[in-house]
Amino acid sequence: MNNELLHHLEQRINEAVEEISSLRQRTSELEMQNYELSEEKSELQIALNQSKEQQSSWESSLSDMLNRLNKMDDKK
């Protein structure tokens, strides 16, 4: 009986060790994926900010041109 119990406990311990190892591996994979996604998010944020700045610059240029056109019309 004692040997059976020890054998059973040893099996349970081995299964738990395997499960912990598997969970550690999955945690490492998820951490790497999280890092990669964070990098991608950062790159996309930079691209978005650049696009917004460019759009703002274009809007400002168009507004300046319209203002000049309006001034030219006013002089006529």
Q: What token pair was written down for 62?
A: 């168009």
User: How many domains, the chain?
Assistant: 1
pLDDT in the model for residue 23: 98
Which domain does 29 fall in, by range? 1-76
CA dist., res. 57 & res. 43, Å (int): 21
What is the pLDDT tens value at each position of the chain, 76 positions in all? 799 999 999 999 999 999 999 999 999 999 999 999 999 999 999 999 999 999 999 999 999 999 999 988 887 6
**Start-to-end C-alpha separation, the chain:** 110
pLDDT in the model for residue 76: 64
